[in-house]
Amino acid sequence: MKILVKGGQLVDPSQEINEIRTLYIEDGQIKSYPRGTKELEKDPSIKVIDASGKIVSPGFIDLHVHLREPGFEHKETIRTGCMAAAAGGFTSVVCMPNTNPVNDNASVTEYILLKARTEGVVNVFPVGAITKGQKGEELSEIGEMWEAGCIAISDDGRPVMNSRVMRHAMEYAKAFGLPVISHAEDLYLSSGGVMNEGFTSTMLGLRGIPNASEEVMVARDITLAELTKTHLHIAHVSTAGAVRLMREAKKRGVKVTAEATPHHFTLTDKAVLSYDTNAKVNPPIRSKEDMEAIKEGLNEGIIDIIATDHAPHTEDEKKVEFDLAPFGISGLETALPLALKLVEDGILTLTELIRKLTFNPAQIIKSDRGTLKLGAPADVVIFDPNKTIKVDREKFRSKGKNTPFHGWQLSGQILYTVVGGHIVFPT
Ligand code: DOR
């Protein structure tokens, strides 16, 4: 497919470009930035997209997604998860290992990659589990998973409580140049908790999860990353204390990066006042002070990227008592409009926001994507930042309709998502 994207505002933080530029895509690559387009426009084999007044940027890269396959296909499949990603402007997703079977060996990794190649419409990068069966005891075959295509290891959803095991995991990961993604949660401190611990949880009579359960583990993992000199990436930062610990660690030169999710920088724990299980997520949505600290962290660059922690569940699973509902928010299809609020509120410039959705995540997983450099894979998104949309979960491509943002009016509409030179959204 040949595509000419004409006259859009091209924002590519990897090249410090923010100007009106035309982009030409051929053979799956960014081919050129043509000045005159008359000749190209005459060629009937070229699809011309008029992007004037729109933003053209590298396709977004989501470092935290649950695709659920294998094992939980009733919640999501690689195909539906990829379609949701494309609808959200994401051209690459990094999928977590808490599937069934767990992605703790090369054969599961190969299965995911094969399915992604045959049924997925965006690039899929699997994350291997740190320990076998995510049991926290015995290390997985990290080298074999790396060889099969895993780009990181993580304990997401089921943290490794044994610090010695975590230390060894970091040492192995370092040998293969893999980042270790930490879901920072002390399971003893969070045990039985279903929401943020504080005034709201007391009022609702629900068991709380203290900020300390995250902060204790962020501190531990920073300490271990310093000891092992391994790249540590902290997933879904939710507390002010975690931001503080990150700030201090970065200042000392520890190799640590972090992500924040749209729900953590948009909502406070008041979102569960109506016992809305769609706002039940782990780590929980916290206080206003925590939310403000996350925004500050994004603004200062302490938090490097925005990731969704897309965690689809079925309606039946979520339509139960708050205590019993699974944790998780379906996040791929609301990420951009929620993130654009950060620009509207003056927390980030549009360039900084796009950097946190493209170049920074690509750097963390050492990918050649997240850029519109000539010769790069043609992963591109075109969006209208000003177009008002109303979130409608019934229109989600994802099987997971579990969003606390249903009915919200927001600005920002994805117009086209292009992966490897092919238009994958709209289809
Ligand atoms: O809310 C969450 N849902 N947090 C996690 O850590 C896991 C995820 C899931 O797999 O549903």
Report pLDDT digits (tens) over 394-425.
Answer: 999 999 999 999 999 999 999 999 999 999 99
Closest CA to 51 of 377, 383, 411: 383
Residues β-bridged to residue 6: 50
**In angstroms, rounded to a whole number, what is the distance separating the alpha carbons of residues 43 and 409?**
40
Residue nearest to atom 5 of ligand 1 (CA): 157
pTM equals 0.98
And the tokens for 30? 């960014």
C-beta of residue 126 within 8 angstroms of C-beta of residue 109: yes
Q: Are 86 and 423 in contact (CB under 8 A)?
A: no
pLDDT above 90 for 157: no
Nearest-CA residue for atom 4 of ligand 1: 282
**Any idea which residue has 């791929």 for tokens?**
332
* For helices 240-251 and 288-300, angle between their N-to-C axes, nearest 10 degrees: 30
Q: 2-56+376-396+403-425: what CATH class?
A: mainly beta
As a whole number, mean pLDDT of residues 303-314 equals 98
Which residues line the pocket of ligand 1, CB cutoff 6 A? 66, 98, 156-157, 183, 281-282, 311, 326-328
Structure tokens at 314: 């079925």
Residue-wise pLDDT tens digits, 104-132: 999 999 999 999 999 999 999 999 999 99
Q: Which of 304, 309, 316, 345 is catalytic?
A: 309
Q: What is the pLDDT of residues 228-237, one digit of tens each?
A: 999 999 999 9
Count of CB atoms situated within 10 Å of the CB of 105: 17
| pLDDT given for residue 393 in this prediction | 98
Rounded CA-CA distance 255/258 in Å is 10
426: cis peptide before it, omega within 30°? Answer: yes
Task: Count Cβ atoms within 10 A of the Cβ of residue 271 and give its class: 0-12 exposed, 13-18 middle, 19 or more buried.
Answer: buried
Mean pLDDT computed over 200-217: 98
Task: Give span(s): CATH 2.30.40.10, the chain.
Answer: 2-56+376-396+403-425
> Which sign, positive or negative, has the C-alpha torsion 340, 152, 379, 93?
negative
Residue ranges, comma separated, of all CATH 3.20.20.140 domains in the chain are 59-364
The band of 285, judged by pLDDT with boundaries at 50, 70 and 90, is: very high
290 classed as catalytic:
no
Is 104 strand, coil or helix?
coil
Q: What is the pLDDT of residue 66?
A: 98
CATH topology of domain 59-364: TIM Barrel (3.20.20)
Percent of the chain past pLDDT 90, that is, above it, reads 99
Ligand 1 centroid distance, CA of 64 (Å) = 10
Which amino acid is residue 91, in one-letter code? Answer: T
